[in-house]
Chain A
Amino acid sequence: MSEKTDKTEQQRLSVFKTYKLYVGGKFPRSESGRVYEVTDSKGKWLANAPLSSRKDARDAVVAARKAFGGWSGATAYNRGQILYRVAEMLEGRKDQFVREVADAEGLSKSKAGAVVDATIDRWVWYAGWTDKIAQVVGGGNPVAGPFFNLSTPEPTGVVTVLAPQESSFLGLVSVIAPVIATGNTVIVIASEKSPLPALSLGEVLATSDLPGGVVNVLSGKTAEIAAPLAAHQDVNAIDLAGADDVLAKELEIAAADNLKRVVRPQAVDYSRTPGIERLTAFLETKTVWHPTGALGASGSSY
């Protein structure tokens, strides 16, 4: 591990971590038994990451669908508490993420530290949105007639997210937090080159009261895993943040098969505070009507 340890205990050999997927609240290896080498920005070997298969992707959809009822049915307050808990857990394991982000993105320790701080703050930001978005984008409509109706946002369902390729942690969190904040469940495909922060995030999520299956993390070849997910009939939406233009077009065409909601790739500066576009992109608006009855034209005369 660190040099200090090496000095005091000359014989100590560090313990490597086996990086695993995070699916349905568990940490399976890829069903295919495959791994691929993950290196740092200078090409030095860091770990073997699971090379997910189509079967892993399908298993993740099953897990995400199973978790959807409970998660979308939880109160917004409860979801906010759990998202905040994730930030708490991240704060406690900051050193690990600073190291992983520094390795993944070739950043100095201080720059990586700033990225991790910003990432934790992003969780906190989204934690605060869970019980506010409905008031911002929903509301009562002034119907011309003896009815009242209310428009309320509801989660779209199971969302596939292709995490940004370059921003392995801040970008990752910026695309998954809004999806789950609004009650959706997610299958995220980690950055192909730098999947380790994402896989470690799974460990944090598993200890943050987040129900298993709400977030599922897959690593491997983005195009290979994304193809069956874009075509999957039980996936309701797809965020193409981590796709290049060619892949994005191909996946958008596949997604049309069951009219998935699609967020196209766009240039995003993840260091800036986001707007609410990624929250609303995975919401449906439900309008419920009811007759009001009438007490007469003039009503009370006080």
Chain B
Amino acid sequence: MASASAFEYAPAPESRSVVDIAPSYGLFIDGEFTEAADGKVFKTVSPSTEEVLSEVAQAGAEDVDRAVKAARRAFEKWSALPGSERAKYLFRIARIIQERSRELAVLETLDNGKPIKETRDADLPLVAAHFFYYAGWADKLDHAGFGANPRPLGVAGQVIPWNFPLLMLAWKIAPALATGNTVVLKPAETTPLSALFFADICRQAGLPKGVVNILPGYGDAGAALVEHPDVNKVAFTGSTAVGKAIARQVAGTDKKVTLELGGKGANIVFDDAPIDQAVEGVVTGIFFNQGQVCCAGSRLLVQESIHDELLDSLKRRLSTLRLGDPLDKNTDIGAINSAEQLSRITSLVEQGEAEGAERWSPACALPSSGYWFAPTLFTNVTQAHTIARDEIFGPVLSVLTFRTPDEAVAKANNSQYGLSAGIWTEKGSRILAVASKLRAGVIWSNTFNKFDPTSPFGGYKESGFGREGGRHGLEAYLDV
């Protein structure tokens, strides 16, 4: 994409040799890798090359039952362990993740398609940090504000998405284990590998058998897990449509449920914002992980008086982004996770054009194999446009304008979602006033897409319920 510049970047690929991917993997149940009951397998491919990375056992309902039984057996002993012992297991896991972080970063980039610079500098440090953070809670639950001696729920059934495979695993497994629950986790069908490597980390850490079970598979395995009568807690991160289906499935049961669903985050830039910083924040907000982020700032709300100036800067900045080999350390934009996701993005973008919005992308050569989508801007977007309402989950930014802070708030809140928002202004009182009026669970002012294990994350409205991270994240796994 940087062909316009005078000097080309030399390739700076990260070595693949640090990771050893086996030709096939089983399900991880009760501390053992095992075949699926019906012997089914599926292939996982590298989105940037379409190369088959490995063949993975595909869990079905029978495997789910087996894993839940193993988790139930393990629960008795695990929940009875002193918190300080559970803490030590989690600290061990955190340390092993740090030791193996380069290996896991490369693996994640291969299986997911995201740039190595993101897996190495964002995903993996956060994964380790989550285990460290929740390790420290395991022996302090009496002090967490949920009364004395809060109890675990039992077996947690967890279903996670493909956009941050290992990070979402950490968000789910660390608090579950710290509070004394055992887990059955289903990673997404396009990104099962890092969860299976995590199974090996559990083995290295000496974690008792059955405490963590990993079931790669498709939606049917996820549904079987959610429906299983012996699952006490359901945690799901993914699409709002599936979230609603889960909310219906658990109705009338005793299952506790938390849902982290979609978003259509507004990034609001006021006329007194530092433009260069705002442009960086807008870019981070929507092009981080190819925009495949539920809290992405996919709607840019820019004050009318600085619209042209901001758009010029933004387009200039987009022209310097480098799209290509995710293993190259200089790559900013990697591959879209799957052919299916690419076609979803493509069709929504076509709809945006059909509805009259103006499409723009920098000059950008796409690799000939793999799943790729150029960073894309839409201007002349109105609130009624599909691309301003539906979550695209790709590197596509819709630009709208506003004149007054009230209008900015009204437009930002005009969404079924309420996960994230951004505010860019030099005026502190405006930040606080606007932040207090936005109906969203995470608000970044003069920054965007920052995460930390100590900080609660989760949505208002149809972005789901419950919070992950921080003290709040414990509640989802305790009988309170």
Contact = CB atoms under 8 A, between A and B. Distances in A.
Contact of B145 (A136, A145, A236): A136
B455 interface: yes
B421 to A, nearest CB: 10
B319 interface: no
A255 B261 CA distance: 16
Interface string B221-263: 0000000000000000000100111011001100000010100
Contact of B445 (A248, A255, A256, A290): A290
Given A147-B450, A249-B251, A253-B251, A259 B472 contact: no
Nearest to A69: B437
A265 to B, nearest CB: 10
B200 to A, nearest CB: 27
A256 B440 CA distance: 19
Contact of B470 (A141, A256, A277, A284): A141
Contacts of A92: none
Contacts of B462: 258-259
Interface residues on B, range: 35 or more
A284 B443 CA distance: 13
Interface string A129-163: 00000001100011111010101000010000000
A243 to B, nearest CB: 10
Given A257-B244, A261-B465, A285 B446 contact: no
B450 A144 contact: no
A289 B442 contact: yes
A89 to B, nearest CB: 31
B480 interface: yes
Interface in B437-480: 440-447, 450, 452, 454-458, 460-462, 464-465, 467, 470, 472, 480
A151 B470 contact: yes
Contacts of B240: 259
B440 A141 contact: no
Chain A contact surface mostly: mixed
A151 B251 contact: no
A147 to B, nearest CB: 6
B431 interface: yes
A290 B431 contact: yes
Given A151-B472, A252-B251, A257-B244, A289 B450 contact: yes
B147 interface: yes
Contacts of A249: 251-252
Given A136-B145, A245-B252, A287 B461 contact: no
Nearest to A146: B447
Given A151-B470, A245-B252, A288 B452 contact: no
Interface of B: 129, 145, 147, 240, 243-245, 247-248, 251-252, 259, 261, 416, 431, 435, 440-447, 450, 452, 454-458, 460-462, 464-465, 467, 470, 472, 480
Interface of A: 136-137, 141-145, 147, 149, 151, 156, 236, 245, 248-249, 252-253, 255-259, 261, 275, 277, 284-291
The 8 closest A-B CB pairs, nearest first, are A249-B252, A256-B247, A252-B251, A141-B454, A141-B455, A143-B452, A253-B251, A256-B248
11 contacts: A141-B454, A143-B454, A145-B452, A149-B455, A253-B252, A275-B147, A287-B442, A289-B442, A289-B447, A290-B446, A290-B447
